[in-house]
Amino acid sequence: MKNAENNVLKGFQLISGISLSDTGDLGEFYERTESGFWIYPSAEKMCALALGAVKELFEPMFFFLELPCQDDENAFDLYYLECTKPVAEAIIDRYGDLLINDGVSRFGFGSHKTGEEIYFHLFQKVYIFTENSEKYEKLFKALEITDKPANTVADNFDPDTDDVITVELDGETVFDAAENLKSAGLYFDKKIKY
């Protein structure tokens, strides 16, 4: 059963920005794709996953943030910030909990040098685009994320009864984070239609 206080479900923790009426058989795992991995981590491992993946990226790097468009519910506003590895780690340290727990935004980091990316997507799933799978499998092993499939948040999500929301942590939302990061060079790139 769901614990409303911290969204813990039989060892699988939901992010704060998701509510599910059916939490049956949720579990964390990863699966290979032709160009990388889909990872379905428990919430408490997502910051460690972000930091571990950022350590594997080569500079020069970038941070990207996709926020729901205020004037079009079928679009996201895409923002970019050119950054170094220490800046990427500082973003995770300062805004990681907020970005990870938000139910409606997406974000990630990438390497201009190799094209590798880690992309924190909706419904508590993460995509890593890479041609070097071994280094990320070591990270999954260190985080005790296996390749044994289970139900995902997206599998169990029912739009009639469940919800994703923007969260506020310490008086800030992801929209505040975007505004704050503009002084560090975050810029609007384009509107993405989905």
Q: Which pLDDT does position 23 carry in this prediction?
A: 84
pTM of the shown model: 0.92
Using the predicted structure, report yes or no on whether residue 1 has a pLDDT greater than 80.
no
Q: How many CB atoms lie within 10 A of CB 118?
A: 26
Phi, psi (deg, nearest 5) at residue 42: -70, 150
Using the predicted structure, report yes or no on whether residue 181 has a pLDDT greater than 60.
yes
Q: Which pLDDT does position 24 carry in this prediction?
A: 81
Q: Which pLDDT does position 84 carry in this prediction?
A: 97
Which of these ranges, 8-12, 44-48, 129-133, has the smallest mean pLDDT? 8-12
